[in-house]
Amino acid sequence: MGRRGYPPEFRRKVLDLVEAGRPVAEIAHDLGVSDQSIYTWRRQDRIDRGLEPGLTSGEKAELAQAKRRIAELETELRATQRAIELTREVVSPKGSTRPSK
């Protein structure tokens, strides 16, 4: 997979150019960035500043971290459940082990 996004400093400079009045299409062409990326960055910036409704960058990062942690915990839970199943297969209800085949 390719690189993961543009550095925040670059995005900030692009948004400063937009706020200074330069057309998005011109900036996109000059810097080799898609128009849609610039519009997305501008919308997120407006959300972060409280000018539009939506999840702030901080909230998005927190949500992504929580989702990663949930996935880790679900993996651990599945492993634990499988270990319990294997233990039940080996140990009989009265506590004695079954002879191996």
The Cα–Cα gap between 2 and 57 comes to 22
Domain extents for the chain? 1-54, 56-92
Q: What is the pLDDT of residues 66-101, one digit of tens each?
A: 999 999 999 999 999 999 999 998 886 665 555 555
Q: Would you identify the CATH topology of the domain 1-54? A: Arc Repressor Mutant, subunit A (1.10.10)
pLDDT at 5: 87
- Does position 8 have pLDDT exceeding 90, yes or no? yes
Q: Is 25 exposed, middle or buried (CB count within 10 Å of its CB: 0-12, 13-18, 19+)?
A: exposed
Contacts (Cβ under 8 Å, ≥6 apart) of 45: 15
- DSSP designation for 96: P
